[in-house]
Amino acid sequence: MDLALVTSGGDAPGMNAAIRAFVRQGLLGQHRIWGILRGLEGIVRAVRQELKTESVADIIMTGGTMLHTSRFVDFHNAATQETAVKQLREWGLDGLAVLGGNGSLRAAHAMSQAGFPVVGIPSSIDNDIYGTDDSIGYDTAVNNITQSIDKMRDTASSHERIFVVEVMGNRSGALAIGSGLAAGAEAIVVPERPVNAELIADRLRTTHARGKKHSFIVVAEGAARAERLANELSMMTGFEVRWVVLGHTQRGGPPSAKDRWLGSLLGSAAISFLENGSHGLMVGVRSDAVRGISLEEVARNEKPPQYSWLELAEQLAL
Ligand code: F6P
């Protein structure tokens, strides 16, 4: 078979491990493997390269994506989707794997509905994809954030300050919750729940009256801006509050071992699915086992954040 893969949307650490697995598993199955460059736009612009075993040497430990990526909003248009499917057919491809987050998986679903064999691989630091416990990149990003907060803790403790740390997650609080629990944050603010600055201020007053000298509030970018929340809390409590926006430092750097495992498992599973004629699916993990779930179900549903973790983090930090 002639099989291709494309990375789309925001890059995620561990994508390269998945590319390596897809290429090498595909070559083991005697297939020809193609990498489409610069995301879904690369399909429409017809840019691809053949990948051999040496093409993916020494990438398992690197972040980003060797195939490059882009946010291609034009793919929402039916006409662009048609052009893409036409191009995939012109290339004579028998199947495509799409690595990306929710937007990319919706695009994968559209191509699959148009009759092209597509398998999705959940890859997003947001971990907000329905049907899989984990998405590639989340574990690394949580570790990156946790390490940054650990470093800030030295200053927070020395100066007896409060820090508001803004993390990524426009529509999802998963990153804020995972890192907030790991870093021992006093409060976590997520887009799925309205911000209540007064409640946070109350908590700070109570805990500091009991002897706490410093605190961390982790806020997802989609819930509130760190600067504004920090100013509000400073005015409400009179404490010294600093704010930090971690930005793209969260998404870069070497993938964690967990993201390398996940990339290896899912990249390899995508080949098995395409070989067996199973498509229109996303390969995900549930309780450590790889399983397929229809792209339609993925596109139709939202993954709720772990509210119980949020509550636990706040209880434990009191
Ligand atoms: O989807 C991953 C993500 O990192 C989000 O958490 C964030 O809102 C967005 O991408 C940022 O995208 P960009 O790098 O295109 O600004």
Residues with beta carbon inside 6 Å of ligand 1?
10, 71, 101, 124-126, 168-170, 221, 251
Burial 78-90 (b: 16+ CB within 10 A, else e): eebbebbbebbee
3-class SS of residue 276: coil
Distance (Å) from CA 73 to ligand 1 centroid:
14
Structural contact between residues 213 and 163, judged by C-beta atoms closer than 8 angstroms: no
Q: Are strands 241-245 and 162-167 parallel, antiparallel or unpaired?
A: parallel
Alpha carbon distance, N-terminus to C-terminus of the chain:
58
What percentage of the chain has pLDDT greater than the value 90?
98
Supply the pLDDT for residue 318.
78
pLDDT single digits (tens) 1-30: 999 999 999 999 999 999 999 999 999 999
As a whole number, mean pLDDT of residues 200-207 equals 95
Distance (Å) from CA 140 to ligand 1 centroid:
15
Domains, the chain, ordered by start:
2-137+255-300 (3.40.50.450), 140-252 (3.40.50.460)
Distance (Å) from CA 45 to ligand 1 centroid:
23
Q: In 3D, which of 152, 122, 116 has the Cα closest to residue 134?
A: 122
User: Residue 83 is encoded by which pair of tokens?
Assistant: 């052009």
Structural contact between residues 311 and 178, judged by C-beta atoms closer than 8 angstroms: no
As a whole number, mean pLDDT of residues 111-140 equals 98
As a whole number, mean pLDDT of residues 238-260 equals 98
Structural contact between residues 100 and 15, judged by C-beta atoms closer than 8 angstroms: no
Atom of ligand 1 nearest to the CA of 125: 2
pLDDT single digits (tens) 103-114: 999 999 999 999
pLDDT single digits (tens) 208-241: 999 999 999 999 999 999 999 999 999 999 999 9
Positions marked active-site: 126
Q: What separation in angstroms does the CA of 198 have from each of 166, 234, 235, 240, 308?
A: 18, 11, 11, 16, 22
Does residue 195 register a pLDDT over 90? no
pLDDT single digits (tens) 142-187: 999 999 999 999 999 999 999 999 999 999 999 999 999 999 999 9
Structural contact between residues 263 and 255, judged by C-beta atoms closer than 8 angstroms: yes
- C-alpha 125/C-alpha 10 separation (Å) is 8
Q: Which residues pair with residue 219 across a beta bridge?
A: 166, 189
Per-residue confidence at 94, pLDDT binned at 50, 70, 90? Answer: very high
Region for residue 304 given its phi and psi (left: phi exceeds 0; alpha: psi -120 to 50; beta: otherwise): beta
